[in-house]
Amino acid sequence: MDNDNNFYTSEVMTGAPAAFKTDTQRLIYESLDRAGIEYTRIESDPGVSMDDCLNIDRAFGIDTVKTILLTNRQKNRFWLYVTHARKPFITKEFGAALQIPRVSFADEALMMQVLGTPHGAATPFALLRDEAADVTFVMDRDVAARDRIVLTDGDACGFIAIKVTDLIRLLRREPLLIDNPAEIIPPGELYD
């Protein structure tokens, strides 16, 4: 695929990969296929920066979302937040929107324990895991209003485009919707 910086993206594909990299990734694709949910996917170089997400956006023709696992100080409550990849995230505004105390980003060990994914690969699909049963699912209202979104497949090199309604149906849980007042940063202004 064409991109700005030799970032590899495959052509858009359907169906699960031939081999799974993690148990979480296997769970995601098996759940999608068992539910008969249509999706498309790509494989890419690790998609962890805003520039990387722009290349993934171009491959699908849809804006990518970012998924953040947050926790309280005691590390015994969790929130999985889905917002636009180019919207700044401010923990104070997130906490105020949900009327909860201070939250922080979950570290790599908690990500693996709860979601079964490392940093850069968090995905709402991981809410299918038993270990994520008590995680509160939160979504930016702007993202929830879209027809389709692009998320990781539990690996930083795999991305799935899916209808928002199908994602919610698969997870069998409605997200708490909040307004993220931040503006989406236009691609040309990422580093201004």
Q: How many domains does the chain have?
A: 1
Q: Note the pLDDT tens digit of each residue in 93-136.
A: 899 999 998 899 999 999 999 999 998 899 999 999 999 999 99
Within 10 Å of residue 138's Cβ, how many Cβ atoms? 20
191 assigned to some structural domain: no
pLDDT of 2 reads: 47
pLDDT > 90 fraction of the chain, expressed in percent and rounded: 74
Contacts by residues 88-93 (CB-CB < 8 Å, ≥ 24 positions apart): 88/182, 88/185, 89/180, 89/182, 90/182, 93/180, 93/181, 93/182
Greater pLDDT, 99 or 181? 99
Cβ(80)–Cβ(122) under 8 Å? Answer: yes
Average pLDDT of the residues of the chain:
91
pLDDT tens for 54-85 read: 889 899 999 889 999 999 999 999 999 999 88
How many residues are there in the chain?
Answer: 192
**Which of 5-9, 63-67, 93-97, 146-150 holds the top average pLDDT?**
146-150
Whether residue 1 is predicted with pLDDT greater than 50 in this model: the reply is no
Answer whether residue 168 is part of any domain: yes
Residues 90 and 115: their CA atoms lie apart, in Å, by 22
Q: Is residue 167 part of a domain?
A: yes
Within a domain: residue 186? no
Give the CATH number for residue 84. 3.90.960.10
Domain that holds residue 143: 23-181
Inside any domain, residue 12:
no
